[in-house]
Amino acid sequence: MNSAVRTRVRTALAACASGCVATGLIWGAAPAHAAPPPHPAGASVSPAATAAEPAPLLDAASPDGKRSRASGRLVGGGGTTCTATLVHATGKPDPGAKALVLSNGHCVDDAMGTNDVVIGKAAPADWSYTPAFFHDNVAEHKAFPVERVVYATMKDIDVSVLQLSATYRDLAALDVTPRTLATERPAPGTALRAAHAPTDGVEPGRRFLRLSTCEATASGVALHENTWLWKGATRTDCLGISGGSSGGAVTTAADPDRLVGMLNTIATPGYLGCGPGRPCEGGNEGLIVPGDDAAYVTPVDAVASCLDGKGLQLRKKGCRLDRGEQPKVTGGGLHTRSETATGPARWDAHVAPAATGGRTHVAVKSGPFGVVDCTSPEGYDKPRRLTGAGLDHKEVLPRKDNLYVLCVAAGPDATLKGAAWATSLAHPAYAYARVDNTAPTVAPAIDSRLFGEGEDASYWVYPVYAPWEITGYKVKYGPRAATDCADSAGYRDYLGIPASLKAADGPWTYCAVGYDNAGNATPPASFALSPEGVKSPRAARAPRSR
C-alpha cells in the first residue's frame, strides 16, 4: 500500500482548501485492535511484538518465516513502499533467468486510470526489492534493483509483474526461492494467511514482514475505489493491514506455499461512504459500504494463466490478462444528481480509436456496477463505425442512486461476432458514472479556536470535512442577533480560508451547509461562538490559510 501517496492525500483532506474531491489514491491506516488473532500453528512470534499488534512480526527462522522468504519490501513509484513476492510458473526456474516479482499495480503508478495497461516499460533506477525482509535478519537484507515493468494494470485487477536485474540464481544464494500461483480463488470461509510489511502507523524500527491470519468472508466481489473498477476480489477480515502491505502474499492455511491473491486495499475507519480509502462493493442492491477494516485481496489466477517457464507471456494460449488494445475512453467519473441545472444527467464519455489498428467499429452498453457483464455480447447496441474523430456518448443516465458502468468494445465490422470481437469483449474498456440523490448522512461540524487576549482576542473558525459524505461547504457568519442560518441569503463557497472574528464584536453565529461530491446538501447548521465553547489559546496555533 502506497504510504507516500497516502500522506499527500491525507494532508489534502486535512486542508480541503476548495472541498474534498476524490482525486488521489489513499489507503487505510493501520487499525488499532485490542488483541491479535490466534497464532497459526508453527508460527514464531517475535518477543518484541505487543498484544496490541493484530499482525505479529515474523521471525526469519520460524516455519512461516521460511515460507515467506520470497516476500519483501518493494520500493516503487515515487519512492512508495509496498510488498512484493518472487514468483515463477513452476517454482523451478532457469537459474540464469532474470527474476520476476509480483505486486500491486498501484505500486508502479497510483495515477493509472480506469483502463490503463502498462507493458514492457523500463523502471526508474531507484526502484528496488529486498526479499526475506524480517526484523531479526537485518544484517542479511539486500536490495535488488527493479529493471523493468513487465506488466501493470489497475483495470479489473490491481497487479504488476516486475523484472529484477538479478537472476533467480542470485536470489537462491540468499535462500530465496520463488513461489507459484494458484489458478483458483479462495471460497468464503477459507482460512488465509497474509505476509506483508506495513509501514503506516508502524514505528520505523518495526516495519518488517508480519503475518495476518484471517478468513475469506466473500469472493467474486466487484469493488470500486477512486477511479478503479475491480472484479473477482476476495473480502477478508485480515487485520493489521496498512500502507506498505499492498501486494502482500496471500495463501490459504491448507496450502501455504501457493499464492491465491495479494493484499489490495481496506475500508479505512473514519471515512464514510465511498471514495479513496473507502472502497465499495457493487451488486444487485446497489453500492454497499463495507464495515471498517474490511480488507480486500486481488486475485492472481489471471497472472498464473500467462506465466510459463520463461516468464510472462501475454500471447500464450489461455492467457487472461488484458493487453491494453481497446479504444480510448475519456470523460468517465461523473458524480452527479439525476437532475442538473441543464436537465437530466447524461453520460459524458468520448470514445477514440485504439493505437493499434483493425478495430473500425465500436459497440456500447451500460448497467449497474457489479451487475452488468461487460464481457457478454448480450445488451450491446449495434456496432457503429469509429472514425478518427471518435464518438461521443451522451445518453441520459438512470435516475436511481447507483454506480453505472459504460462498457465499450471494438471490432473489425458491424457483426459483433467472430474471434476479433470475442477478444475485444474479453477486455472491454470502461467509463463510469455515480448517480447520487441522497443528502450527506452526517451534520456539518466546525473547528473554532480563540487566540489572543482582551481586545486583541479573535476566533479562528473553519468547517470540518467528513470524507466522503461532506466534501464541500457553503458558509456565512455574523452577529448573533442578525444572523439566521435558515436564510439562504449570504452563503458563499468556503475556499479554505478560516474566518477571523474579533471576539469583542461578538457574540457571533457561524452557519455552515455541507455538500457531497454530487452537490447534495445538508440542512444548515448554526454554531454559537463563545469563549466557553472553544479550545484554550495556549494549546492551539492559528491555522494557516491554504
- CATH code of residue 373: 2.60.40
Does the pLDDT at position 384 exceed 60?
yes
CATH number of domain containing 472? 2.60.40.10
What backbone torsions phi and psi does residue 7 show, to the nearest 5 degrees? -65, -45
Could you tell me if 322 and 153 are in contact, meaning their C-beta atoms sit under 8 angstroms apart? yes
User: Quick check: helix, strand or coil at residue 105?
Assistant: helix
- Give me the pLDDT at residue 332, please: 83
- Give me the pLDDT at residue 327, please: 93
* Whether residues 521 and 464 fall in one domain: yes
DSSP character string of 444-490? -EEEEEEES-GGG-EEEEEEE-BTTTB-EEEEEEEEGGG--TTS-TT
CA atoms 172, 174, 180, 181: torsion sign: negative
* Whether residues 152 and 96 fall in one domain: yes
Could you tell me if 368 and 407 are in contact, meaning their C-beta atoms sit under 8 angstroms apart? no
Secondary structure tally for the chain: helices H, strands E: 5, 35
Domain count within the chain? 3
Asked whether residue 25 is assigned to any structural domain, the reply reads: no
- Give me the pLDDT at residue 51, please: 38
Could you tell me if 410 and 423 are in contact, meaning their C-beta atoms sit under 8 angstroms apart? no
The alpha-carbon radius of gyration of the chain (Å, integer) is 26
Separation of alpha carbons 240 and 246, rounded Å: 12
- Give me the pLDDT at residue 540, please: 31
Helix (H) or strand (E) holding 131: strand 128-131
Exposed/middle/buried for residue 54 (C-beta within 10 Å: 0-12, 13-18, 19+):
buried
Dump pLDDT digits (tens) for 428-474: 999 999 999 999 999 999 999 999 988 899 999 999 999 999 999 99
Separation of alpha carbons 309 and 313, rounded Å: 10
Measuring CA to CA, how many Å separate 195 from each of 57, 62, 249, 302? 10, 13, 5, 21
Where a domain ends, among 435, 469, 497? 435
Dump pLDDT digits (tens) for 272-316: 999 999 999 999 999 999 999 999 999 999 999 999 999 999 999
* Whether residues 260 and 293 fall in one domain: yes
Assigned C-alpha cell, 472: 464541500
* Whether residues 83 and 158 fall in one domain: yes
Residue count of the chain: 546
Does the pLDDT at position 347 exceed 60?
yes
Q: Which domain holds residue 93?
A: 47-312
Most confident of the following: 10-14, 57-61, 350-354, 530-534: 57-61
Asked whether residue 512 is assigned to any structural domain, the reply reads: yes
Asked whether residue 480 is assigned to any structural domain, the reply reads: yes
Does the pLDDT at position 1 exceed 90?
no
Asked whether residue 18 is assigned to any structural domain, the reply reads: no
- Give me the pLDDT at residue 532, please: 65
Exposed/middle/buried for residue 439 (C-beta within 10 Å: 0-12, 13-18, 19+):
middle
Separation of alpha carbons 83 and 359, rounded Å: 38
Where a domain ends, among 435, 468, 490? 435
- Give me the pLDDT at residue 4, please: 34
Does the pLDDT at position 157 exceed 80?
yes
Q: Which residues contact 400 (CB under 8 A, 6 or more apart)?
A: 286, 338, 435
Asked whether residue 546 is assigned to any structural domain, the reply reads: no
Separation of alpha carbons 94 and 424, rounded Å: 34
* Whether residues 85 and 226 fall in one domain: yes
Asked whether residue 54 is assigned to any structural domain, the reply reads: yes
At position 57, the amino acid (one-letter code) is L
CA atoms 278, 281, 287, 291: torsion sign: negative
Buried b (16+ CB within 10 A) or exposed e, 391-430: bebeeebbeeebbbbbbbbbbbeeebeeeebeebbebbbb
Dump pLDDT digits (tens) for 8-45: 333 333 333 334 433 223 232 332 222 222 222 233 23
What backbone torsions phi and psi does residue 3 show, to the nearest 5 degrees? -75, -40
- Taking the CB of residue 2, how many other CB atoms lie within 10 A of it? 30
- Taking the CB of residue 520, how many other CB atoms lie within 10 A of it? 16
CA proximity to 445, closest of 469, 421, 463: 463
* Whether residues 267 and 343 fall in one domain: no
CA proximity to 39, closest of 58, 26, 25: 58
Dump pLDDT digits (tens) for 187-235: 999 999 999 999 999 999 999 999 999 999 999 999 999 999 999 999 9
Separation of alpha carbons 308 and 304, rounded Å: 8
Pairing of strands 307-308, 384-385: unpaired
Does the pLDDT at position 105 exceed 70?
yes
Q: Which residues contact 306 (CB under 8 A, 6 or more apart)?
A: 312, 313, 314, 316, 319, 320, 321
* Whether residues 252 and 368 fall in one domain: no
- Give me the pLDDT at residue 533, please: 59
* Whether residues 280 and 139 fall in one domain: yes
* ω into 468 cis (within 30 of 0): yes
Does the pLDDT at position 46 exceed 50?
no
CA atoms 487, 493, 496, 499: torsion sign: negative
Does the pLDDT at position 339 exceed 80?
yes
Output the CA angle 239-243-245, nearest 5 degrees: 60
Mean pLDDT of the chain: 88
Longest Cα pair distance anywhere in the chain, in angstroms?
Answer: 82
Asked whether residue 269 is assigned to any structural domain, the reply reads: yes
- Give me the pLDDT at residue 451, please: 92
Mean of the pLDDT values across residues 131-158? 98
CA proximity to 169, closest of 234, 104, 97, 233: 97
Helix (H) or strand (E) holding 15: helix 3-15
* pLDDT level of residue 356 (50, 70, 90 thresholds): confident
* Whether residues 179 and 240 fall in one domain: yes
CA proximity to 543, closest of 8, 17, 7, 21: 17
Asked whether residue 471 is assigned to any structural domain, the reply reads: yes
Structure letter (DSSP) for residue 315: T
* pLDDT level of residue 161 (50, 70, 90 thresholds): very high
* Whether residues 261 and 217 fall in one domain: yes
Could you tell me if 126 and 79 are in contact, meaning their C-beta atoms sit under 8 angstroms apart? yes
* Whether residues 176 and 283 fall in one domain: yes
User: Quick check: helix, strand or coil at residue 317?
Assistant: coil
CATH number of domain containing 277? 2.40.10.10
User: Quick check: helix, strand or coil at residue 168?
Assistant: helix
Does the pLDDT at position 179 exceed 90?
yes
* Whether residues 208 and 353 fall in one domain: no
